[in-house]
Amino acid sequence: MLDFIRIACAVPPVRVGDTRKNAEEICRMLASADEQQADLLVLPELSLTGYTCQDLFFQDALYRGMLEGLSEIVKASAVHSGVTLVVGVPLRCGGQMYNCGAVIGGGRIHCLVPKTYIPNYNEFYEKRWFSSGVSCREDSVTLKLPGFGPMEVPVFKQGLVRLGEGTLLGVEICEDLWTPVPPSSLLALSGAEVIVNLSASNETIGKQAYRRDLVKHQSAAASCIYAYASAGAGESTQDLIFSGQCLIAQNGALLGETEEPIVSETLLIRDCDLGQIRADRRKNKCFADNAYVLSGVTGTKIVDASMPALRSDGTLQKVEKLPFVPAAQTDRFDRCMEIFRMQVAGLAHRLEIVGSKAVVGISGGLDSTLALLVAVEAMRVLGRPASHVYGVTMPCYGTSDRTYRNSLELMEKLGVTAKEVNIRQAVGLHFADIGHDKSVLNGTYENAQARERTQILMDYASVVGGIVIGTGDLSELALGWCTYNGDHMSMYGVNASIPKTLIRWMIAAIADSPAFADAKPVLEDILDTPISPELLPPDASGKISQYTEDLVGPYALHDFFLYYMLRFGFAPTKIYTLACRAFAGDFTPEVIKKWMKAFYRRFFTQQFKRSCLPDGVKVGSVCLSPRGDWRMPSDASGRLWLEELETL
């Protein structure tokens, strides 16, 4: 199952008090939402009558017109039976009038949800007309809609509606969201995965940004999908203006928003990922604990809408190719520098505690470059000279002229203490000791070089009184693309939770920093250098002959697989589907499947390397530290994952 729901937030053109016209517009919006395969349609507060009717709410004619309009909407819902819609209506019940959301689908009204918190301050005067839902003593109301017999409809002060195959929907109305403990918080703790808000929030300076932040925050705090539809410019402008702002957020991330600042009509549709919500709730035990603590006040009533299975296949969801990298350039730069500061803070504190210098192996590649930049900045933070960082370059059989020159130039520009140790002779002696023919370019040939480099770094750290700074990144750890007790080992790993796809952008951002201006040209050349472990000899022209991504696959794909597997626990089928959409035009489905198999095989067989990782600061939502985010037996089988891939 892909676990998507397609939500539409609609602002129909409202004519205040004209319920027949408003019902026609709502039915038109319903048809449009159905045509676009929406599962859920959310309309603004009191959308059937208009929010700004004021004392007209007391008029029998308006109420009779509302019932007639509601009847037409219920009839239309039988035609467009794949959509559940929530419409704002006034309700007379038990001698009072309530501002309600009517949940409708399949030709019937499933329930009515009254507004809990009635604003009566500044420009709001709702208590003149409406009572709070908490005062409603009736559990149901009998509605007499034209064309229907008497209809007994549940009235939910705190309840849920079951959609499709089990998705739970909660409803709140406008001011409810603005309270210290919104009803949606309790609804979410009762199981609601989707919250809708029918609103009529008037426009004032800065209010759109405030509402946006409010919706994003509540979707994060309640770990839910939150859809918000507000009244548009068709409402009365006697004293107020309404903008028609619609918002759809998922667990703190804004999925969509009305583009124009003020609209009288709009339809915002987005696919939302229920799988992400469910994964986060399973993982976050505090969510379940909070639900238990508040079990006495959370809603327990559930009405089954008996709707068909949700139709969304997620094709409207924007799937980023690089989930670890912000798409917007400004956000990307800020994110990279924030991570850099976290790396620096972690290393600076470690160096301060142990009172040592930093030793970094420099290869001229991306990972060691970032580690060196972090070490230099950490020394600056500590008020120590860059010379307290010892950069060690260790050329051997696979070192190319380009990376060798870049290593030396980078250390010179940064002002670190540079040391060169050519390890060809030492590795040759080691080959002789273990009886390996150095003309055989196998794993022994490569691993011996990596372990010799680590031995030199560790012993040289003892000489200068320093600690070895690890350079390996998150992507390499996921694939096990490191030599056990070689580049796998250090005394503090600054890149351990940073994926390869992000490291490139981080170096680019740091290169633009005034503090590293002198090193910018060499940093740009390093960014332009192909990714390689340089453990096999260069070609005849001295250029790199061994390309990592030819061997293990594109890091863009592996980072994508890693993110969705670890962050949400998605099954191979869903990850494959998302990958095919994200990388359409870049990789064929066959290529994606090939490297996905390689990812799962390597991920499961290489856990033993991750089980004994050195310390390293966590900077993002995905980490493989055995002391942090990921605990897995080293001998676990990946059979189920690989077999599922074979079915695709």
Q: Could you give the residue numbers annotated as active site?
A: 45, 115, 174
DSSP state of 155: B
Residue 126 near residue 119 (C-beta atoms within 8 A) = yes
Which residues are within 8 A (CB) of 612 and not within 5 positions of it... i.e. 6 or more apart? 626
DSSP-assigned beta bridge partners for residue 151: 143
CA 473 to chain centre: 21
Alpha-carbon dihedral sign for residues 412, 416, 422, 423: negative
Burial tier of 432 (Cβ tally within 10 Å: 0-12, 13-18, 19+): exposed
Report how far residue 193's alpha carbon sits from residue 247's, in angstroms, rounded to the nearest whole number: 16
**Angle, in degrees to the nearest 10, between helices 555-568 and 572-582:** 140
Tell how strand 225-230 and strand 246-250 pair up: antiparallel
Torsion of CA 607, 613, 615, 617, to 10 degrees: -30
Report how far residue 162's alpha carbon sits from residue 103's, in angstroms, rounded to the nearest whole number: 11
Torsion of CA 183, 186, 188, 191, to 10 degrees: -130
* Residue 647 to residues 103, 313, 415, 427, 640, Cα–Cα distance (Å): 39, 19, 55, 46, 11
* Nearest partner of 247 among 220, 276, 216, 271, judged by Cα: 216
H or E element: which one contains 109?
strand 108-114
10 phi and psi, to 5 degrees?
A: -120, 140
Report how far residue 258's alpha carbon sits from residue 247's, in angstroms, rounded to the nearest whole number: 7
C-alpha count within 13 angstroms, C-beta hemisphere, residue 260? 13
